[in-house]
Homo-oligomer: A and B are copies of this chain.
């Protein structure tokens, strides 16, 4: 058995840079001495790493300080608000969203435009995405990475979208196409929108470490978080709640199956049953107590309850987060959904399921995409620092 090699100077610096930055992100306002105490590194090592990270504008000095005391070592450290930003893009079925977040995940700017991507070729949509990325990149902040959320199965390592039934796309090299169209010399991550939305909920929402987040839009996806980590399955294809067949002899679905949840409880069947043209009109009708609208949402809630009861029976998760359009429909969904869960979850009596609306709503996926880009830098800052100082 070969022994583990001694860590090289570079490996050690890489590891320690991540430790130090994590300590600063976790306790903004810490002094160098506090970071040293927390990480177990010497003050000299911390100071040298912090100086490099200040040089690369990952870390900034000043502002609120957690401990008083005179001298240079007492200066408060925090993630730099002018440092690298994450640029998030979401390719929705009927919209394109972009946003810029700083290292702390705070939104600096966001854009949303209607775009019927169902009726467009991948090339046409990716040209729009490239244009949206260029617009965002014109903001006066450095871009540290791009995250792209797509409504389908993603081969994450290669950045390829395998299939997106609601877009009618197959085998689209999203990363490659985007890199070709926009000359940004930064990493591009591609991920499933429901998974990225669940991560945003984990980072910014008011939930604990175990939940399923449902992105309910035209398509329905789930992001499963267990022990504070995304559960994606062996190939990253998990969470396809929208294609849980809740009525096996029900209507055909673009995926090839029948009676999939999104054919019965997605945005399209709800507005159709309510007899309104879109979500805004649906919400107005619900607020006015319209009978057809209320019945349409109630029916969707029952199907959603069947699918979520199945999910909880399999995974025993304590919390369901309603995201996307479902977050806005939550006041009308909650009652009938709860009733189905109480009736169909075997363990409901001993392990009751909490149903909450996402605080991020339809914005979760693009926040997750942008956040993933900055978290990639926070998790391993040294390559970014080395490039910035070169």
Contacts and interface: CB of A to CB of B under 8 A. Distances in A.
Given A237-B351, A247-B248, A351-B234, A314 B346 contact: no
B235 A316 contact: yes
Interface in A266-283: none
A242 to B, nearest CB: 9
B347 A244 contact: no
Contacts of A315: 231, 233, 238, 314
A235 B349 CA distance: 12
Interface stretch (A87-95, A303-311, A326-334, A382-390): A303-311
A344 B237 contact: no
A241 B316 contact: no
Contacts of A303: 248
B153 A344 contact: no
A302 B248 CA distance: 10
Interface residues of A, number: 49
Interface string A214-244: 0000000010101000011111111111011
A137 to B, nearest CB: 32
A256 interface: yes
A241 B309 contact: no
Contacts of A224: 314
Contact of A346 (B153, B232, B258, B350): B153
Contacts of A237: 316, 346-347, 350-351
A26 to B, nearest CB: 13
B243 A313 contact: yes
A344 B313 contact: no
A306 B248 contact: yes
Contacts of A153: 346-347, 350
A210 interface: yes
A352 to B, nearest CB: 10
Nearest to A238: B316
B311 A314 contact: yes
Contacts of A350: 153, 155, 162, 235, 237
A36 interface: no
Contact of A222 (B256, B258, B314): B314
A255 interface: yes
A181 interface: no
A317 interface: yes
A232 B344 contact: no
A234 B347 CA distance: 11
Given A238-B314, A240-B313, A245-B344, 17 more contacts: A155-B350, A163-B349, A210-B234, A226-B231, A235-B350, A236-B316, A237-B316, A240-B347, A241-B313, A241-B314, A243-B344, A243-B346, A244-B313, A256-B344, A258-B344, A310-B310, A314-B314
Q: Lowest 6 CB-CB distances: which A-B pairs, in order? A: A233-B316, A237-B347, A238-B316, A240-B313, A257-B344, A237-B316
Interface of A: 153, 155, 162-163, 165, 210, 222, 224, 226, 231-241, 243-248, 255-258, 302-303, 306, 309-311, 313-318, 343-344, 346-347, 349-351
16 contacts: A153-B346, A162-B350, A163-B349, A165-B346, A210-B234, A231-B315, A235-B316, A235-B350, A240-B313, A241-B313, A241-B314, A243-B313, A245-B246, A245-B306, A248-B302, A314-B314
